[in-house]
Structure formats: structure tokens, C-alpha cells
Amino acid sequence: MSRATCDARLPSITNSSNRYRMKDKPNIVVVGTGGTIAGRGTSAVDTSAYACSVLAIDEILSAIPEASSLANLSAEQLLQSGSENFNEQHLLMIGKRVSEVLKDDTVDGVILTHGTDTIEETAYFLHLTLKSVKPVVVVGSMRPPSAMSSDASLNLYDAIAVAIHPSSHGKGTLVVANEEIHSARDVTKTNSFKLEAFRSPYGALGYVTQGKPRYYRTPSRDHTVSTPWSIDDIEALPKVDVVYAYGALESELVRAIAADASGLVFAGTGNGNIAEHMVEPLREATRRGLHVVRASRTGSGVVIRNGAQPDDDYDWIVVDDQPPQKARILLMLAMLGNPDERRALQAAFYRF
């Protein structure tokens, strides 16, 4: 098999019967959406080349019988697709389903299995829009269950251990990988194939080991019940695009984006730098109503307002410390309440 195949399929929900019968252990619902954790290679040495999104969520769970001693698990298949395919409709579908499940008083927590490519975007979207203090843990794997030293079973087992634990309440959406618990706000995928792919710039919130989470930090920015956005009320998201900067970037691209998007996250070089020939096209687009957000393509650090560019003069916004792909999620949400108020949009980047 030459490369991973990740095709989008029609959503279906299965196996929700008998979900809430017992209360001897916490009741956890596992929602499957595909990804490598649902992948299969032709041989155990296929750690990076395999078919992704082929195993049903029931099959993935049946590989870890140990998990049933932690919780009463019920599974449903919401999607079966590589997460690189996920767009705003997928985000809304996932968010609304997780929200619905959380509203059931007999449910103690939700696990979302998800491809790792865009796990950080979906998790951040949930972190900002779910209105519940119950644990929501998003989990994937870097190697399919069929590969040598796959992280699939342990990651999922750890996710369940995190979801059932009282100390996970009120921490927002969590991403569990490689025995670490990350805040959805901070985590990003930083490697294309290694198990230790997930990093948070300020460190993980804690570890999970031997079936128990150990927290050492808490998220400091507002999330879930402290945000103004409820997934239940969101029917559509504004169009926001990302432009990746390089010296030969042509201004035509900005014009094309400005023609049908409401926001543009500019992944500038270094501290959100913008090449001289791009400044005027971006200013022109701003005057016509496009929200321009300066980010950095470096992968970490803060973009300083009025640093590399006079943002006050140009009416631009800066991301604070968010990478472009997560800034896009936040801008889409911030625009729901403040479509034209740039000061409010900027404030969102310092609050969430």
C-alpha cells in the first residue's frame, strides 16, 4: 500500500441501545469519526502507510477488553473519515452530536475518536462551544491498531481513564495522546509520523498512567461554559481562509480570498511579518470588510500587536499565541457575535 487513504463516508449512528442501563461504573459514550485509530495496514510493519478509517468504533473498542473494567461503554459511529476532510459542516455535526450526548443525565463523559491531522481544530472548536463541565476527551493514534507498537489501544484506554475521573471535570475539552493530557486550546500536532507528535507550548496539563490521570496544571483561558458560544445555537460558520506566507506570494490570492471570505488568517513569517508587496492588497481587502488576522508560520510564540505592522492604523488583528489553523476556528466563532467589530474580535484572541 503506497499511502494512507482517507475517504469521507456518509455519517451513521449505530449501537446506541442499552446505553444507560447500568450505573455500577461511569457511563461513557465513545463517538467514532475515523482516522488512523480506525486504520488497518497490510502488515505490522506498516506504521505510516495503511488504509485509514476502515475499522468501526465497536471493533476498535473490542481490542481493549480492559476498558470495560473502567466504565460502561457505548459506541456510536458518527463519521468514518480522515480528519483532513473535515470542514465547517463536520465541525457542526460533531459538536451538535457531542452536545446532545452530554445532555443525557446518565452520561458521565464523552470520548471522540478522531484522526490526528486536525484533532486540534475539532477539539478547540468543542472547547469553545460545548456547554458542559463533563469531560470530553478527543483521541486518535499515530499508528493504526494493526501496526507494531501501535498507540491506538493505549491512547483510547487512557482517554477512558481520563474521561471517568472527577479531576477531569471543568477542564474543557482534552486531547489524550502518548500518556499525556493536553488542553484543546494549546495542543498541536508537531510531527507527521512519530508517536510523540503532540505538544502544547506550555506543556501538557498532566499525565495519564496506569489508568489514572495526574494533573499538574489547569487551563487559564475561558472555555466551554465560560464562552459566549453554544454549539446548539450555531447553524453556520463564516468563511475564514488561511494564507501561508513566502516571499514570492502573489497578491492575487488575497483578492480571490477577499471575494468570498469574511476573514483571512495570514500565517506570516516570524512575528507575523508581511512582505511589502502584500501590505497594500491586505489593507485594501480590510477596507472592503475582510478581517485580516496576523499569525505566525513558525509554529509557536506570540504575534505582537503593532510590532511588525501598525495594526491599530491598518485595523488588523493579531492572534496572540494561536497557530493559524486554530486562529481560524476562533475567528469564525468570534465573528458570530461581532461580525464587524474589530476591537471585539481582537479581544477574543486575548481571552480564549
| Residues within window 17-46 making contact with ligand ASP, judged by CB under 6 A | 35-36
CA 189 to CA 177: how far, in whole Å?
10
Q: Closest CB to ligand ASP among 82 and 135?
A: 82
Judged by CB under 6 A, the residue of 7, 14, 62, 84 near ligand ASP is 84
Q: Closest CB to ligand ASP among 50 and 229?
A: 50
47 is an interface residue for ligand ASP by CB under 6 A: no
Stretch that binds ligand ASP, among 42-50, 111-119, 272-280, 329-337 (CB under 6 A): 111-119
Q: Closest CB to ligand ASP among 128 and 197?
A: 197
Stretch that binds ligand ASP, among 77-85, 205-213, 300-308, 316-324 (CB under 6 A): 77-85
Judged by CB under 6 A, the residue of 116, 173, 188, 286 near ligand ASP is 116
Q: Going edge to edge, which strands form the sheet with 206-209?
A: 72-77, 27-32, 109-113, 136-139, 173-177, 180-183, 206-209, 212-215
CB atoms within 10 A of CB 233: 9
Judged by CB under 6 A, the residue of 4, 242, 278, 329 near ligand ASP is 4
115 is an interface residue for ligand ASP by CB under 6 A: yes
* Backbone φ and ψ of 186, nearest 5°: -95, -25
The distance of closest approach from Cβ of residue 23 to ligand ASP in the complex, given in angstroms and rounded to an integer, is 33
The distance of closest approach from Cβ of residue 79 to ligand ASP in the complex, given in angstroms and rounded to an integer, is 10
Stretch that binds ligand ASP, among 76-84, 164-172, 258-266, 282-290 (CB under 6 A): 76-84
User: Which residues make beta-bridge pairs with 237?
Assistant: none
Q: Closest CB to ligand ASP among 113 and 227?
A: 113
156 is an interface residue for ligand ASP by CB under 6 A: no
140 is an interface residue for ligand ASP by CB under 6 A: yes
52 is an interface residue for ligand ASP by CB under 6 A: yes
Catalytic status, residue 36: yes
Q: Three-class SS string for 158-197?
A: HHHHHHHCHHHCCCCEEEEECCEEEECCCCEECCCCCCCC
Judged by CB under 6 A, the residue of 72, 83, 129, 309 near ligand ASP is 83
The distance of closest approach from Cβ of residue 20 to ligand ASP in the complex, given in angstroms and rounded to an integer, is 30
The distance of closest approach from Cβ of residue 240 to ligand ASP in the complex, given in angstroms and rounded to an integer, is 20
Judged by CB under 6 A, the residue of 82, 109, 172, 323 near ligand ASP is 82
The distance of closest approach from Cβ of residue 173 to ligand ASP in the complex, given in angstroms and rounded to an integer, is 17
Site size toward ligand ASP (CB under 6 A) is 13
- Please tell me which residue in 36, 113, 129, 173 is annotated as part of the active site: 36
What residues act catalytically?
36
Residues that bind ligand ASP (CB under 6 A): 4, 6, 35-36, 52, 82-84, 115-117, 140, 142
